[in-house]
Homo-oligomer: A and B are copies of this chain.
Amino acid sequence: MADEISTLMMKNKNKKVLLRLRNTHTVTGILKDFDIHMNLTLEDTEETADGKTEKVGKILLRGDNILLISLPKEES
């Protein structure tokens, strides 16, 4: 993850993000930290698969499973 992207991630720390994973699951949680491999730590995380949502609390998610991260609108 290069600088341009890293700055964007930094601005979204402590905000709620939505992740689409490669395995089609969806994960929502508060973004706490990340590294250059797009490994993320999230809190208050929920994972949705096949219409069922499950709380998974505080997680470390490997970046190579991520399809996309949907970011909250910036406050104006």
Q: Which residues of A contact B (CB under 8 A)?
A: 1-5, 8-9, 18, 20-23, 27, 33-39, 41, 45, 47, 56-74
Shortest Cβ distance from A21 into chain B, in angstroms? Answer: 7
A56, B37: Cβ atoms closer than 8 Å = no
Give which listed residue, B1, B18, B36, B61, contacts A67 with CB less than 8 A.
B61
Count of this chain's copies in the oligomeric assembly: 7
Known contacts A8-B33, A20-B56, A62-B67; can you find 5 more A-B pairs with CB under 8 A? A2-B35, A2-B39, A5-B41, A47-B68, A57-B71
The residue that A22 contacts in the complex, of B8, B23, B45, with Cβ under 8 A, is B23
Residues of B within 8 A of A20 (CB): 47, 56
Instruction: Tell me the bound Cα distance from A8 to B8 in angstroms.
Output: 22
